[in-house]
Amino acid sequence: MTTPDPGSDRPLVVVTGASSGIGAASARALAADGWHPVLGARRVERLEQVAEETGGTPLELDVTDADSVAAFAAGVRDLAGPTRPLRGLVNNAGGAQGTETVLEADEDKWRWMWESNVLGTLRVTQSLLPLLLDSGDGHIVTITSIAGLETYDGGSGYTAAKHAEGALHRTLRGELLGQPVRLTEIAPGAVETEFSLVRFGGDSARAAKVYDGITPLVADDVAEVVAFAMNRPSHVNLDTIVLKPRDQASGMRFHRRT
């Protein structure tokens, strides 16, 4: 006798960058709302922890590597089926490296930001779109950033990549018009996660300064918005959602209490 899979009647949602931060929090929020999260990231051990908490499925994924994305997509295809369609994709993997001016810009950091934010989102979206369409009611949520809507000093590599990622996502809104798939762009401002630690190459003192004297958003604040958007009825498409801490007016303007 085989053990029934408790996730078999829950729709699948792929979450990239699911090992920590906004990705892990989104997986938790969606699991609580009845989704079966398929968790993609490079750090498999951490993914397994999130999988345990959410009843989800961990699958190794490096969005900067086309072969890794192909293997990941094959794994998702194996999990999906008529009782468990792939109905959601949360494009969350990505990040920033450095705060050099344009004059000092480091090409390797730019390349990594384009690979992880732009081409990563392209690869994952391309490979999963057929399954999302087959479900008859798909939804793509892309976590961009306020950096996809404005520029700020020292942010050129990241703002350029996030603008491009936003353009890719928004283009789909037109190209897929008439097809059963919704598209939501969520553009957060300052969220305290590992984001700044990665940006500053592991320098925790510099990372902490970003949030000095403000009350930043936390990953759960964004995750609640992801889940809210995905749980609207099929005819309701929340198109673009910008969320910032009350203490932030723009990428460069904060109210700091210190």
Is 98 a residue that touches ligand 8X3 (CB under 6 A)? no
Closest distance to ligand 8X3 from the beta carbon of 179 (Å):
29
Is 245 a residue that touches ligand 8X3 (CB under 6 A)? no
Choose, by CB under 6 A, the member of 61, 227, 251, 254 that binds ligand 8X3: 251
The single residue of 158, 195, 200, 254 carrying the catalytic annotation is 158
Closest distance to ligand 8X3 from the beta carbon of 18 (Å):
17
- Cα pseudo-dihedral 35, 91, 192, 244, rounded to 10: -100
Q: How far out from the chain centre does Cα 184 lie? A: 11
- Cα pseudo-dihedral 157, 112, 40, 173, rounded to 10: 50
Residue with smaller CB distance to ligand 8X3, 35 or 195: 195
Total residues contacting ligand 8X3 by CB under 6 A comes to 8
158 is an active site residue: yes
Can you say whether the dihedral through the CA atoms of 76, 79, 84, 90 is positive or negative? negative
Closest distance to ligand 8X3 from the beta carbon of 117 (Å):
10
Q: How far apart are CA 6 and CA 28, in angstroms?
A: 16
- 67 class by beta-carbon count within 10 Å (0-12 exposed, 13-18 middle, 19+ buried): exposed
The site string for ligand 8X3 over 134-153 (x = CB under 6 A, - otherwise) reads: -----------xxx------
In single-letter form, the type of residue at position 204 comes to S
Any idea which residues carry the catalytic annotation?
158
Binding site for ligand 8X3 (CB under 6 A): 145-147, 155, 189-190, 195, 251
